[in-house]
Chains A and B, each alone.
Chain A
């Protein structure tokens, strides 16, 4: 059985180490916060906050307190606030240990596309280009194939790039892959997924 959203998030949480400052993207990456256990992880929200807390209890929502996905959130005793220029200063400056984000496509040399489909869908890159260029480690969490069953793990991205050679690790519903010299290396298979299944769903070059 391939991993579901929560299992992918739980697997991604294993990448995080005590004391890390981390930025989580919108969607499945947001769920990673539910699986960090006892580890002391500080979440950065690029709209200007370190030490992001959980969603507020109903009735206590504060319109002045949102995350980068525009969702209402809460603060923690360790929270600090700052402006957008300072926020991206710490991102660009390499102070954030890791970013976990979603993707439309990833290529075998670590290129990432996740911000637009020309002529169809215009989302915008938001802070993703800054994050992938600046943080210590870029971890992509996504389904291995799109809704038409086509691989999202490609030899080359077809969509406009968010960053070139920026991805370090892919955690998909089928397993974990690292970007290495010459292609992608299978690090782990999701429980019940065979290597043949993962290979069949991967267009990119797989190396040993």
Chain B
């Protein structure tokens, strides 16, 4: 089966629909699927619900989809310094479901692993647990969190072979594997596509079974907070 496509637009062909749920990998601007996000902006698809730890920054990454008002709802843990994200949320234009970061990651992992829900102590006694089942195990309260199964997931890896076996680089791995796992269809962009047999099978971070469509492209990889120390 052919997984490699020529461009982000081609890779998303036939997958996008108004009102759909998309899971996106990345943490801040690190390891985000830049090319696929641009292609979604281009497509004009709207009323999206997006599960992603952050929503990019103003004007970059998923922030572009906020600018074009293509997002109806975000499922995120952190708004941070994204002014447009905060503005749309506070004005009521954007629905925002706050998820503790680890809960969001586990909801995605569970969605890909056939686990419909799980109990966690994260968020017990806070607004996050409101309206959810609380169950006691061994004297401690846990809240039931549901898995996320996305219509499409968009992720970014460093290298992959043509069958989708993927390797991530440093902290750019972050949400990409769980986001990939939870998609009914996963579209991945990488910096380099190689032939099967090139990557050491023992070093694969995400098996190709989770990856349905694949593209290679150039990434800007913008740095959000450039911090340095003086040379010794």
Q: Which residues of A contact B (CB under 8 A)?
A: 45-49, 54-59, 61-73, 75, 81-85, 87-89, 91-92, 111, 119, 121-130, 133-134, 160-165
Contacts and interface: CB of A to CB of B under 8 A. Distances in A.
B29 to A, nearest CB: 7
A22 to B, nearest CB: 17
A130 B100 contact: yes
Interface residues on B, range: 35 or more
A75 B227 CA distance: 14
B200 interface: no
Q: Which of B123, B174, B230: most chain A CB closer than 10 A?
A: B174
16 contacts: A48-B173, A54-B229, A61-B228, A63-B221, A64-B171, A70-B27, A71-B227, A81-B168, A92-B120, A124-B79, A129-B101, A129-B128, A130-B103, A163-B125, A164-B125, A165-B125
A84 B171 CA distance: 9
B106 interface: yes
Nearest to A47: B27
Nearest to B169: A64
Contact of B102 (A45, A57, A73, A127): A127
B80 A124 contact: yes
Q: Which of B86, B109, B173, B221: most chain A CB closer than 10 A?
A: B173
B132 interface: no
Contacts of B172: 63-64
Contact of A70 (B29, B89, B170): B29
B133 interface: no
B101 A62 contact: no
Nearest to A164: B125
Given A70-B29, A71-B225, A84-B101, A133 B177 contact: no
Interface in B180-232: 205, 221-232
Nearest to B125: A164
A62 B30 CA distance: 10
A87 B102 contact: yes
A189 B224 CA distance: 38
B43 to A, nearest CB: 26
Contacts of A128: 100
A67 B108 CA distance: 22
B102 A91 contact: yes
A126 B77 contact: yes
Q: Which of B76, B121, B122: most chain A CB closer than 10 A?
A: B122
Contacts of B105: 83-85, 87-88
B104 to A, nearest CB: 8
B171 A70 contact: no
Contact of B175 (A59, A65, A83): A83
A92 to B, nearest CB: 6
A182 to B, nearest CB: 19
Interface string B30-68: 110000000000000000000001000000000000000
Contacts of B222: 63
A164 B109 CA distance: 26
Given A55-B227, A70-B225, A83-B105, A126 B171 contact: no
B171 A49 contact: yes
A82 B170 CA distance: 8
A123 B54 CA distance: 11
Contacts of B221: 63-64
5 nearest A-B pairs in the assembled complex, by CB-CB distance: A88-B102, A164-B125, A130-B102, A124-B78, A84-B105
Given A123-B78, A127-B101, A81 B173 contact: yes
A30 to B, nearest CB: 10
Interface string B117-143: 000111111111000000000000000
